[in-house]
Structure 1
């Protein structure tokens, strides 16, 4: 089972890639990010709350600056390890962002991530509009 999403963002591929791969880009519900965007490097999204703590973790196995990343993804060591493939293509309006997320074992998990991607990309756009500090690598 897979998710295949396309978004058009009014920012350069360099800015979108920089935000996507930066530990400084914290999009709620995340409270902290820890990202090392190199092949073999890690990805950690951390949610710390008063009632619930959660971590999504993965490893990068493809990194092409400003163009492409691919990494694994697992919530709270659930055993469901999926793969996320993200492409950042130049477009007249900025960036065509394509996310292909594969390897789901349960429809419930796929549905949750499907709506989660829409929310994440919308919040990422707001972050990029409001925060000029994320610079390309």
Structure 2
């Protein structure tokens, strides 16, 4: 099972890509990230609270600055290792973002990630907008 999503973001591809692979770009409910965005590099995304710590982690297979990343995703070592392929393409008004997330074994997992991508991209766009306002002030 897979997810195919496309979004239009009003920011140039280099900015969207940089935010995607930056350890400071932490979108709630995530609380912190460790990332080495190189081929063979590892990342960990943490969701921490007072009573627990969940994490997603994986390895990068492809990293083409400002254009493309491909990496694995595993939630809390649940055994379902999926693959995420993201393209950052120039568009008239910014970036055409294409996400393909494959390898789901459970419909429930796929559906949760499907809505999760919408939320993530919406919050990423809001963060980039806020950073743009800060940079221009």
| TM-score interval, smaller chain | over 0.9
The within-5 A match list for 1:13-52 is 13-52=13-52
- CA distance in 1: counterparts of 2:52 and 2:97, whole angstroms: 31
- CA distance in 1: counterparts of 2:71 and 2:121, whole angstroms: 17
The within-5 A match list for 1:89-100 is 89-100=89-100
Residue 127 of structure 1 corresponds to 127
Report runs of 4+ in structure 1 exceeding 4 Å deviation.
Answer: none
- How much has 1:52 moved relative to structure 2? 2.8
Of Structure 1 and Structure 2, which has the larger fraction of its residues in helix? 2
- By relative contact order (CA 8 Å, sep 6+), the higher-ranking structure is 1
- How much has 1:51 moved relative to structure 2? 3.0
Residue 74 of structure 1 corresponds to 74
Residue 111 of structure 2 corresponds to 111
- CA distance in 2: counterparts of 1:51 and 1:131, whole angstroms: 31
- CA distance in 1: counterparts of 2:77 and 2:54, whole angstroms: 10
- CA distance in 2: counterparts of 1:49 and 1:126, whole angstroms: 23
Structure 2, gaps ≥5 residues long = 133-137
Equivalences, count: 134
Please list the CA deviations of residues 17-63 of structure 1 after superposition, one character each: whole Å capped at 9, or x if unmatched: 00000001010000001111000001211010123310000000100
SS of equivalent to 1:38 = coil
Residue 8 of structure 1 corresponds to 8
